[in-house]
Structure 1
Amino acid sequence: MAGATATSGVAQAAAQGPCDVYAAGGTPCVAAHSTTRALYAGYGGPLYQVRRSSDQALRDIGVQGAGGYADAAAQDSFCAGTSCVITVIYDQSGKGNHLTQAPGGGAASGPDNLADATLAPTTLNGHRAYGVYVAPGTGYRDNHTSGIATGDQPEGMYAILDGTHYNGGCCFDYGNAETSSNDTGNGHMEAIYFGNIKVWGYGAGPGPWVMADLENGLFSGENARYNANDPTVSHRYLSAMVKGAPNQWAIRAGDAQSGGLSTFYSGPRPNVAGYNPMHKEGAIILGIGGDNSKGAQGTFYEGVMTSGYPSEATENAVQANIVAAGYANSSATTGALRGTGSGKCLDVPNASATAGTQTQIYTCWGGANQTWTRTADGQLTVNVSGSTLCLDASSGGTADGTKVVTWPCNGGANQKWQFNSDGTVTGVPSGRCLDVAGAAVADSTPVQLWSCWGGDNQKWTLG
């Protein structure tokens, strides 16, 4: 990979962060947001702030040491026995471009929802951290920034995203947007988009795609509709980059866990009126469109915006830094089992110890009846009312619609569960997925076995 030599994750984190790389390339960060790690070697301040529901208290979550990883243990301790949301994502650049709860805008009223602080567990070189889980209706914004590109000024940006968490809603963005929270015309935005909507531009295959939201259009290239060179991407951890300068812009992306970047587009601005020159306004958004369109979903771990148009060599070195950070799925074996589609937890109703109680989803609150342990032999156990029970496919059933219940642990195959890389959890004898019935999201919706089909109601995270 050009521009950098990967070293051990700990040494790389201590030696430099991505914003040190950008600065060395002459395109310094003017916004740097992360809930997982410091983006400068010398940064030792807060990464984000959480608010717990039990007493509305606030807590800044910082790093374990300058240039290091998030202090996830501080969040775990503060939020134990209750739920927490992320209220602020701090700007590490020193320019004060912090992301907070987005206000209403032209497309949707507000304020927007705040992200549950525990729904996107991850690890970086074995260090536990949390990303920002954006469910539809969730959004962050700063309409009063310093140093962000305006007009046709050059800029670059990247974001590390969960490449398996997306939808066709508008619009999961990170980047430059309108300061009024309204659509003010073509070319008034420049943001990274990730998802599989096809209303505007799109790329090859079924999606999702990395594209640019330039307002009144998601663009995959110069053509207003289609770029065959912008492929469907599905990396669990995705590096997505967009940059723009006078009549020049580019999309680059790659696997944030290994390898380099590919260029999906580099060339002139879209051949539609209003995009050359650009009319960027300099607000920053996360999880929403420029006019507060908030029907999209996704997960954000870190991202920056730069002053100036970064070179490919600089971006390649940033990618090497990202890979060295060692993003990986959470290695937790005990915690809440959270549904991707609902954001709610697998729950034993009323903490019942009665054998055969069908499990459900319910708002996460940290109770013992929502705390599951994945054992070495593939069981999922829960302690309720003094009894340790196993997650069980009722009566050894393997058909669609089989109830998923709690039952005394007996070593049976119908109490063994496989965690898969796509987020599904499958019963060992049936191969069918742990499924929220009807893809519903309401409290008390039952959980069952169903044929795996890729829906978010069949995807889970433990942690």
Structure 2
Amino acid sequence: MAAGSALMLLAVLVAMVYRPGPASAAGTGPCDIYASGGTPCVAAHSTVRALYGSYAGKLYQVRRSSDNATRDIGPLAAGGVADAAAQDSFCAGTSCVITWVYDQSGHGNNLGYQGPGGVGGSDTAANATSESLTVGGNRAYSLYINPRNSYWRDGHTTGVPTGSAPEGMYMVTSGTHVNNGCCFDYGNSETTRKADGPGAMDAINFSTQCWFGGCSGNGPWVQADLEWGLYSGGSQSWNPNQRAFTSKFVTATLKNNGTTRFAIKGSNAQSGSLATLYAGPLPAGYNPMKKQGAIILGSGGDCCNGNTNLSAGTFYEGAMVSGYPSDQTENAVQANIAAAGYR
């Protein structure tokens, strides 16, 4: 064989050996999936993992009680699980709280606790070590919300949909740490922190609250907090397609096109596909929506400036997107969550 031919064969063999394979679940995050579906994330929050395959920035901040020093906690690697060991080292011998949950989307929609030293208000920051878990075999900490803990951001000028603009959202929460206090929400809320009327909110609620009565069972349920009520479906009557989600890890989704329809879905976050609990017209009086563009986590929209949060719940990860996500996109996000390996 001629020298030139031999070199060409060697180059082909090397290319075959080192040819990149298909992207793995670890290299793609939920917000990559939303973006590929044409509905990019405008806010992305998690204390347990990066929500983009390339994200290597800050996930959250802890503050220790011994000297009020703070430390930002990031992922172990780009696209990876949070560096729990860094938190352990910083908080050793004292206690820590979670003061900020950083936005991974690049829009700057960081969530601060609603109290003095945070974004202002009457609540306190959540304990940073109330619950540990593993994701993909790596230890992490949840944002474990108890009454008087809550987080907020005014995002109406930083990408969060307002008025009747369409949006979608999801969160991973827990079916084992819930109550019927008002209101464990994640999503779009009032910039005024007051109950400003129907359609001023568009947030996922996960709780045992039976707002309008007539509920079947004890929950917890995935519902829509649209202000002036938690909706299990398209009216104040109980939606018979609702079901309780009592597993340790739960995926909850909500999407709302702002003018005619919305949809609620839920699933075990460790396996299985999303179940559609409701997909249909908006309730009477909520067309069009009047979203204000703040972000709430852990409480209702008329909290917590002068009053305090009454809800309990767990937040692992979640995102809000611009546009109305397709069912295909939401199914792919659920598959990514299941592949992340919550344990």
The answer on whether the counterparts of 1:203 and 1:229 sit within 8 Å (CA) in structure 2 is no
Gaps of 5+ in 2: 1-22
Shift of 1:102: 1.6
Q: Which of 61, 64, 74 pairs up with 2:73? A: 61
The answer on whether the counterparts of 2:165 and 2:323 sit within 8 Å (CA) in structure 1 is yes
Shift in alpha-carbon separation, 1:237–1:252, aligned structure 2, 3 A? same
Rounded to whole Å, the distance in 1 between the matches of 2:72 and 2:50 is: 14
Shift in alpha-carbon separation, 1:223–1:52, aligned structure 2, 3 A? same
Q: What does 1:230-309 correspond to in 2, within 5 Å?
A: 230-245=242-257, 246-271=259-284, 273=285, 275-292=286-303, 294-309=309-324
Shift of 1:43: 0.4
Rounded to whole Å, the distance in 1 between the matches of 2:239 and 2:229 is: 14
Task: State the one-letter code of the partner of 1:159.
Answer: M
Q: Percent same amino acid at aligned positions? A: 57
Structure 2 length as normaliser, TM-score?
Answer: 0.89
Rounded to whole Å, the distance in 2 between the matches of 1:147 and 1:160 is: 22
Shift of 1:86: 0.3
Aligned to 1:98: 110
Task: State the one-letter code of the partner of 1:134.
Answer: I
The answer on whether the counterparts of 2:62 and 2:71 sit within 8 Å (CA) in structure 1 is yes
Rounded to whole Å, the distance in 2 between the matches of 1:190 and 1:34 is: 20
Shift in alpha-carbon separation, 1:12–1:55, aligned structure 2, 3 A? same
Shift in alpha-carbon separation, 1:27–1:203, aligned structure 2, 3 A? farther
Aligned to 1:214: 226
Shift of 1:144: 3.9
Rounded to whole Å, the distance in 1 between the matches of 2:137 and 2:239 is: 38
The answer on whether the counterparts of 1:175 and 1:305 sit within 8 Å (CA) in structure 2 is yes
Gaps of 5+ in 1: 1-9, 329-463
Rounded to whole Å, the distance in 2 between the matches of 1:193 and 1:204 is: 17
Structure 1 length as normaliser, TM-score?
Answer: 0.66
The structure 1 segments of at least 4 consecutive aligned residues displaced by more than 6 Å after TM superposition are none
Task: Give a deviation string over 1:371-422, Cα, whole Å, max 9, x none.
Answer: xxxxxxxxxxxxxxxxxxxxxxxxxxxxxxxxxxxxxxxxxxxxxxxxxxxx
When you count strand as a share of all residues, which structure comes out higher? Answer: 1
Rounded to whole Å, the distance in 1 between the matches of 2:200 and 2:104 is: 25
Aligned to 2:10: none
The answer on whether the counterparts of 1:203 and 1:232 sit within 8 Å (CA) in structure 2 is no
Calculate the aligned-residue CA RMSD, in Å: 1.5
Shift of 1:201: 6.0
Task: Give a deviation string over 1:114-159, Cα, whole Å, max 9, x none.
Answer: 0100012110011000010000011000024411111111000000
Shift in alpha-carbon separation, 1:49–1:201, aligned structure 2, 3 A? farther
Rounded to whole Å, the distance in 2 between the matches of 1:179 and 1:315 is: 28
Aligned to 1:136: 147
Larger Rg, first or second structure (1 or 2): 1
The answer on whether the counterparts of 1:203 and 1:220 sit within 8 Å (CA) in structure 2 is no
Rounded to whole Å, the distance in 2 between the matches of 1:149 and 1:201 is: 31
Task: State the one-letter code of the partner of 1:320.
Answer: A
Aligned to 1:229: 241
Rounded to whole Å, the distance in 1 between the matches of 2:248 and 2:225 is: 22
